[in-house]
Amino acid sequence: MTFITRFAPSPTGPLHLGHAYSALLAYDMAVAAGGTFLLRIEDIDQSRARRHWEKQIFDDLRWLGIVWPEPVFRQSDRIDSYRVGLNYLRALGVVYPCICTRRDIQMASSAPQEGGAPAFGPDGTIYPGTCKRHPPTNYDPRAVAFRLDMEKALALLSAPLSFEEAGGGTPETFILDPGYARDGIGDVVLARREMGTSYHLAVVLDDAAQEVTDVVRGKDLFDATYIHIVLQALLGLETPVYHHHRLIRDDSGKRLAKRDDARAIEKYRQEGLTPADIRQRVGL
Of the candidates 4, 5, 10, 128, which one interacts with ligand GLU according to CB under 6 A? 10
Q: How far apart are CA 240 and CA 242, in angstroms?
A: 6
Please, what is the minimum distance in Å from the beta carbon of residue 233 to ligand GLU?
18
Of the candidates 221, 233, 237, 241, which one interacts with ligand GLU according to CB under 6 A? 221
Of the candidates 16, 23, 42, 167, which one interacts with ligand GLU according to CB under 6 A? 42
Please, what is the minimum distance in Å from the beta carbon of residue 224 to ligand GLU?
8
Cβ partners under 8 Å of residue 251, min gap 6 = none
Q: How far apart are CA 94 and CA 155, in angstroms?
A: 10
DSSP bridge pairs for 214: 241
Burial class (CB in 10 A: 0-12, 13-18, 19+), 228: buried
Please, what is the minimum distance in Å from the beta carbon of residue 221 to ligand GLU?
6
Q: Does 14 bind ligand GLU (CB under 6 A)?
A: no
Phi, psi of 98, rounded to the nearest 5 degrees: -140, 125
Q: Which stretch binds ligand GLU (CB under 6 A): 7-15, 55-63, 98-106, 117-125?
A: 7-15
Distances from the Cα of 3 to the Cα of 37, 38, 166, 240, 271, angstroms: 9, 11, 13, 10, 36
* Number of residues lying near ligand GLU (CB under 6 A): 7
Please, what is the minimum distance in Å from the beta carbon of residue 73 to ligand GLU?
12
Q: Which stretch binds ligand GLU (CB under 6 A): 4-12, 64-72, 98-106, 126-134?
A: 4-12
Give the strand pairing for 189-191 and 145-148. Answer: antiparallel
Closest CA to 236 of 164, 157, 163: 157
Q: Within 13 A of 57's CA, how many CA atoms are on the CB side?
A: 24
Q: Does 8 bind ligand GLU (CB under 6 A)?
A: yes
- Strand stretches in the chain, DSSP E: 4-7, 36-41, 73-74, 95-98, 120-121, 124-125, 145-148, 162-165, 172-175, 189-191, 214-218, 241-245
Binding mask 176-195 for ligand GLU (x = CB under 6 A): --------------------
Please, what is the minimum distance in Å from the beta carbon of residue 127 to ligand GLU?
21
Q: Which stretch binds ligand GLU (CB under 6 A): 2-10, 64-72, 116-124, 159-167?
A: 2-10
Question: Running DSSP on this structure, what letter comes out for residue 130?
Answer: H
Please, what is the minimum distance in Å from the beta carbon of residue 10 to ligand GLU?
4
Of the candidates 16, 78, 147, 217, which one interacts with ligand GLU according to CB under 6 A? 217
Please, what is the minimum distance in Å from the beta carbon of residue 82 to ligand GLU?
15
Nearer to ligand GLU, 99 or 195 (CB): 195
DSSP bridge pairs for 98: 145
Binding stretches for ligand GLU (CB under 6 A) = 8-10, 42, 203, 217, 221
